[in-house]
Structure 1
Amino acid sequence: MSEPTAPDPSELSYEQARDELVTIVQRLETGGTTLEESLTLWERGEALAEACQRWLDGARARLDPAQEAKGSKDAT
């Protein structure tokens, strides 16, 4: 029986991607996986980290204009 395919990281919420990334890091830190499993986990972790960064970049892109608008209101 094969393992179910993990969802594409781009389809996950920030929290889902972050939580899965934490789990992967813990598994890699504790060891006990084969080289092939470690490489697969590492690749998945990289994809999850990229997805998290896209979420954070998107949030920053939304916050920066709001903060600039607030700053210009406060200066008047």
Structure 2
Amino acid sequence: MEFETMTFEKAVAELEKVVAKLEKGNLSLEQSLTLYEKGTKLSAVCHQRLETAKLKLEEISSDQPE
């Protein structure tokens, strides 16, 4: 799975699936750890996409005449 090219929406959808699987609690420890690791990567992607959007909005706002 290419996390670097993933859109925010796709990352959120995948993260929701990971959380749902973890919440069921019927996984082995190894499976849980693997999913947790995937979830942290997806969370980082979401955070990065939001930060990028925030910076872009700030840039657009600063370009507007007062």
For the pair 1:31 / 2:25, whether they are aligned, the reply is yes
TM-score under structure 2 normalisation? 0.90
Which residue among 42, 46, 55 is the counterpart of 2:49? 55
- What's the TM-score, normalizing by structure 1? 0.79
Residue 9 in structure 1 maps to residue 17 in structure 2: no
Q: Structure 2 unaligned runs (5+)?
A: none
What's the RMSD between the two structures over aligned residues?
Answer: 1.1
Output the CA distance in 2 between the equivalents of 1:41 and 1:16.
Answer: 16
Q: Which has the higher contact order (CA 8 A, sep 6+)?
A: 2
Percent identical across equivalent pairs? 32
Paired positions, count = 66
Q: Report what 2:61 is aligned to.
A: 67
Give structure 1 regions of 4+ aligned residues with deviation exceeding 3 angstroms.
none
Distance in 1 between residues matched to 2:2 and 2:29, nearest whole Å: 23
